[in-house]
């Protein structure tokens, strides 16, 4: 969801190697992307990002005025790269009809969950770590979770579903539940819940 390297690894796009990027700002952001997506926000300090990006502290704060600003930039990139660059792209690649594309989310999740590098959903994780509704980071995570639901709604509307908004909320609850379940070790969660998603689609007006 910034620049994305071409090529794919099972389950998601290949991420650039931060140390091969010459631009300092992009190197900082790619390092933060790697660390925040794998370890969460609170567990990763600015000093670790500086060390792994191989930049001076002044350079980081020149490009990002605070850790909060860097986290917001990370979430922006995650939305661009994961939500649109990968999830939507996988749905469109795997199916032609709108309802098939919605079910393809669960098939894409299945590949993602079985990837040894599966790291969970950064938006859900951020909400659990930062639950202050006044926080810009919290609000950005809420916004990007909403964008995923809206994507589902758009596919359902393309398929002519009258209850597209309501069903999109239900489907996102199933999607988020599958991600949380996979995060606790149930890597077959997406395929376990897919039949229920198919039943929702079949029974909705």
Question: Per-residue pLDDT tens for 123-173?
Answer: 999 999 999 999 999 999 999 999 999 999 999 999 999 999 999 999 999
Range 54-66 average pLDDT: 93
Q: Is residue 1 part of a domain?
A: no
Give the model's pLDDT for residue 6: 33
Backbone angles phi, psi at 178, to 5 degrees: -65, -40
- Specify the pLDDT at position 55: 92
Q: List the domain range (segments joined by +) for residue 65.
A: 8-203
d(CA 203, CA 69): 44
Whether the Cβ atoms of residue 189 and residue 113 lie closer than 8 Å to each other: yes
Cα–Cα nearest to 123, from 87, 170, 163, 153: 87
pLDDT value at residue 14: 63
pLDDT value of residue 13: 60
pTM (2 decimals)?
A: 0.87
> 174 and 196 in contact (C-beta within 8 Å)?
yes
Q: What is the CATH number of the domain that holds 87?
A: 1.10.357.10
Counting beta carbons within 10 angstroms of the beta carbon of residue 6, is it exposed (0 to 12), middle (13 to 18) or buried (19 or more)? exposed
The verdict on residue 113 lying in a domain is yes
Q: Could you report the per-residue pLDDT of 168-193, keeping only the tens digit for each?
A: 999 999 999 999 999 999 999 999 99
**Model confidence at 27: pLDDT above 90:** yes
Mean pLDDT lowest among 11-15, 79-83, 169-173: 11-15
Domains contained in the chain, number: 1
Residue 198 lies in a domain: yes
**Sequence-separated contacts (24+) of 15-18 with Cβ below 8 Å:** 15/81, 18/52, 18/53
Q: Which of the four pLDDT bands, split at 50, 70 and 90, describes residue 7?
A: very low
Instruction: Return d(Cα 148, Cα 73) in angstroms, integer.
Output: 18
With 60 as the cut, is the pLDDT of residue 4 above it? Answer: no
CB atoms within 10 A of CB 158: 14
Alpha-carbon dihedral sign for residues 109, 110, 111, 112: positive
Does residue 24 form part of some domain? Answer: yes
- Average of per-residue pLDDT values in the chain: 91
**Which residues does 202 contact at the CB level (< 8 Å), separation at least 6?**
none
Predicted local distance difference test score (pLDDT) of residue 12: 62
Let me know: does 1 contact 82? Beta carbons within 8 Å: yes
């Amino acid at each position: 969801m910034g620049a994305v390297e071409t090529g794919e690894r099972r389950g998601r796009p290949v991420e650039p190697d931060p140390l091969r990027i010459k631009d300092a700002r992009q190197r900082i952001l790619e390092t933060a992307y790697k660390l925040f997506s794998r370890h969460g926000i609170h567990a990763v300090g600015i000093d670790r990002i500086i060390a792994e990006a191989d930049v001076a502290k002044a350079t980081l704060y020149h490009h990002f005025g605070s850790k909060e600003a860097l986290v917001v930039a990370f979430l922006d990139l995650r939305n661009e790269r994961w939500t649109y660059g990968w999830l939507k792209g996988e749905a469109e690649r795997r199916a032609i009809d709108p309802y098939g594309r919605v079910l393809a989310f669960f098939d894409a999740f299945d590949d993602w969950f079985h990837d040894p590098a599966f790291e969970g959903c950064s938006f859900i994780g951020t909400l659990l770590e930062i639950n202050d509704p006044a926080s810009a980071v919290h609000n950005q995570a809420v916004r990007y979770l909403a964008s995923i639901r809206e994507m589902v709604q758009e596919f359902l509307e393309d398929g002519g579903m009258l209850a597209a908004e309501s069903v999109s909320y239900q489907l996102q609850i199933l999607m988020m539940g599958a991600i949380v379940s996979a995060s606790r070790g149930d890597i077959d969660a997406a395929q376990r819940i897919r039949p229920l998603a198919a039943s929702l689609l079949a029974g909705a007006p």
